[in-house]
């Protein structure tokens, strides 16, 4: 493919290479490191990553607070899962849409819309819960309202992450792509790590006070993006080139195998995250309050391990998709085996750490593989399609995993172990994935 003259940082590399990539596999160059633009680029990426931290904050607090709170409200396990499932369904439907829109409109408007939508969803969810606790509305009304307002996150908030990943892809070379895309996942992980600490600081003001703080942080982040996140206007030539993103779908041979792998990862993640607090409570026979504390600590350690991999290990050792996908699946699989052997708290923590490290490698591995296999005009669409698979697990878990959990508390980890073992084999034998991994050194 010939060089395309794009504005700003986004260019198609046209120099000589040992072997030319196939059609659609286009290289995006970074800004020259010797210019001040490089510092501006780094500042922009840091601002973008910082704005995504609030999503991790909210998720970690919801996963640790909502299960015990649900039993106080009178909700059963499948209803808790349904709150996440509807949002996940909306995310699945809308993430590719917003990814394509970011190719057409530009990255900044879609990121801004997503962060604002997340803040609105969180604020409304808290308001519904508070109204029920105060006796203003019945549980019969509160439950569907919780499902609907949480759905705003999937409907609108789903635009933030694919647009953010495409923003980074626009401004990085192939060599830098994986480590910088890992920062997208690291942003979520930072939020997960900070979430319990924020909760501990604010819980004295009320059970839901930390969630109000998350909503406020989301709105503040939206303001910072509006004021300080730079973006080059989308030129007519770029808009014409990016029109190809409208044709990219799950059935595209470059995307389908990666999307299948991402679906399996999503199911394993959701099954583990949605059952961790219940599993800790039931295995150790804890009170809801004690379970919230212990599961919160375990999930925080797991997130910290995942964060260490994404921020330090991947960048320090220059790990590429090949290592991340193969070893990520193997390490996650070992975590599910440890779950099945758990009889006390420490093995549960170890299992969650292995789960966190494994998925912390798989996510950026899949994201960077998808980014490297498409051209600059399809970055948003590719990111949207891969990220659309993320909530599939949240949609399926309430109807498959949670009923199995009620029958036998170890059954979720039998299912995830089998799925992850299958994913590892799939990565090793699928010709499309192997072709993508074969173009990377690590």
Is a pLDDT exceeding 80 seen at residue 88? no
Q: How far apart are CA 30 and CA 351, in angstroms?
A: 39
Q: Which of 35-44, 192-201, 318-327 is most confident?
A: 318-327
Which pair of tokens denotes residue 387? 């990220």
**pLDDT at 19 (0 to 100):** 36
Which pair of tokens denotes residue 424? 């590892």
Model confidence at 252, pLDDT cuts 50, 70, 90, reads confident
Q: How many CB atoms lie within 10 A of CB 176?
A: 18
In a 3-state reduction of DSSP, which class is residue 374?
A: coil
**Is 8 contained in some domain?**
no
Element (H, E) at 333: helix 321-340
**pLDDT at 347 (0 to 100):** 95
**pLDDT at 390 (0 to 100):** 79
31: left (phi over 0), alpha (psi -120 to 50) or beta: beta
Is a pLDDT exceeding 80 seen at residue 246? no
Q: How many CB atoms lie within 10 A of CB 378?
A: 30
**Is 33 contained in some domain?**
no
Closest to 306 (Cα-Cα) out of 275, 339, 280, 269: 269
**pLDDT at 287 (0 to 100):** 83
Which pair of tokens denotes residue 226? 């509006």
Q: How far apart are CA 355 and CA 304, in angstroms?
A: 12
Tens-place pLDDT, residues 18-58: 333 444 433 334 344 444 556 677 778 888 888 888 777 77
Which contacts (CB < 8 Å, 24+ apart) does range 346-350 have?
348/276, 348/279, 348/280, 348/283, 348/298, 349/297, 349/298, 349/301, 349/302
CATH code of residue 321: 1.20.1250.20
Number of domains in the chain: 1
**Is 65 contained in some domain?**
yes
**Is 1 contained in some domain?**
no
**Is 313 contained in some domain?**
yes
**Is 349 contained in some domain?**
yes
Contact call for residues 413 and 332 (beta carbons, < 8 A)? no
Backbone angles phi, psi at 284, to 5 degrees: -100, 0
**pLDDT at 235 (0 to 100):** 57
**Mean pLDDT, rounded, for 257-277:** 91
Which contacts (CB < 8 Å, 24+ apart) does range 33-40 have?
37/9, 40/230
| Domain hosting residue 157, numbered range | 44-227+251-438
Least confident window among 22-36, 102-116, 157-171, 390-404: 22-36
Is a pLDDT exceeding 60 seen at residue 195? yes
Quote the mean pLDDT of the chain: 80
Is a pLDDT exceeding 70 seen at residue 432? yes
**pLDDT at 211 (0 to 100):** 81
**Is 350 contained in some domain?**
yes
Model confidence at 329, pLDDT cuts 50, 70, 90, reads very high
Is a pLDDT exceeding 90 seen at residue 241? no
Model confidence at 240, pLDDT cuts 50, 70, 90, reads low
**Mean pLDDT, rounded, for 202-219:** 80
Which contacts (CB < 8 Å, 24+ apart) does range 93-97 have?
93/154, 93/388, 94/154, 94/155, 94/156, 94/158, 94/159, 94/388, 95/158, 95/159, 95/161, 95/162, 95/384, 95/385, 95/387, 95/388, 95/390, 96/162, 96/249, 96/381, 96/384, 96/385, 96/388, 97/384
**Mean pLDDT, rounded, for 242-260:** 78
Q: Which of 56-65, 107-116, 362-371, 430-439 is most confident?
A: 107-116
In a 3-state reduction of DSSP, which class is residue 28?
A: strand
**Is 246 contained in some domain?**
no
Q: How far apart are CA 368 and CA 47, in angstroms?
A: 21
**pLDDT at 387 (0 to 100):** 83
Is a pLDDT exceeding 50 seen at residue 7? no
């Amino acid at each position: 493919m010939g060089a395309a003259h794009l504005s700003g940082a986004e260019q198609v590399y046209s120099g000589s290479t040992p072997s030319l990539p196939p059609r659609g596999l286009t290289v995006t160059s970074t800004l020259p490191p010797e210019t001040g633009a490089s510092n501006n680029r780094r500042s922009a990426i840091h601002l973008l990553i910082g704005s995504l931290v609030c999503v991790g904050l909210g998720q970690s607090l919801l996963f640790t607070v909502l299960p015990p709170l649900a039993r106080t409200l009178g909700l059963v396990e499948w209803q808790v899962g349904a709150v996440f499932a509807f949002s996940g369904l909306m995310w699945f439907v809308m993430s590719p849409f917003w990814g394509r829109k970011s190719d057409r409109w530009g990255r900044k408007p879609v990121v801004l819309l997503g962060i604002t939508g997340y803040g609105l969803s969180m604020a409304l969810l808290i308001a519904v819960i508070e109204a029920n606790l105060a006796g203003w509305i019945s549980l019969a009304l509160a439950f569907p309202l919780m499902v609907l307002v949480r759905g705003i996150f999937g409907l609108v908030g789903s635009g933030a992450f694919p647009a953010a990943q495409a923003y980074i892809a626009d401004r990085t070379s192939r060599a830098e792509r994986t480590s910088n895309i890992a920062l997208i996942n690291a942003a979520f992980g930072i939020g997960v790590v900070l979430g319990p600490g924020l909760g501990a600081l604010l819980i004295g003001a009320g059970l839901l006070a930390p969630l109000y703080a998350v909503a406020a942080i989301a709105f503040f982040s939206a303001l910072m993006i509006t004021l300080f996140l730079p973006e080059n206007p989308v030129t007519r030539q770029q808009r014409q080139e990016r029109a190809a993103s409208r044709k990219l779908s799950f059935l595209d041979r470059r995307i389908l195998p990666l999307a299948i792998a991402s679906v399996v990862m999503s199911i394993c993640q959701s099954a583990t995250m949605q059952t961790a607090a219940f599993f800790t409570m039931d295995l150790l026979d804890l009170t809801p309050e004690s379970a919230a504390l212990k599961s919160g600590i375990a999930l925080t350690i797991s997130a910290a391990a995942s964060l260490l991999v994404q921020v330090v290990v991947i960048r320090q050792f220059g790990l590429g998709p090949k290592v991340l996908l193969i070893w990520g699946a193997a390490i996650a699989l070992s975590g599910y085996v440890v779950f099945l052997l758990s009889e006390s708290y420490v093995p549960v923590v170890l299992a969650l750490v292995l789960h966190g490290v494994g998925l912390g490698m798989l996510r950026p591995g899949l994201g960077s593989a998808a980014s490297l296999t498409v051209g600059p005009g399809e970055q948003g669409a590719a990111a949207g399609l891969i990220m659309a698979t993320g909530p599939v697990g949240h949609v399926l878990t309430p109807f498959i995993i949670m009923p199995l959990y009620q029958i036998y508390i170890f059954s979720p980890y039998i299912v995830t172990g089998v799925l992850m073992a299958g994913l590892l084999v799939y990565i090793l034998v699928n010709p499309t994935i192997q072709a993508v991994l074969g173009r990377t050194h690590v």
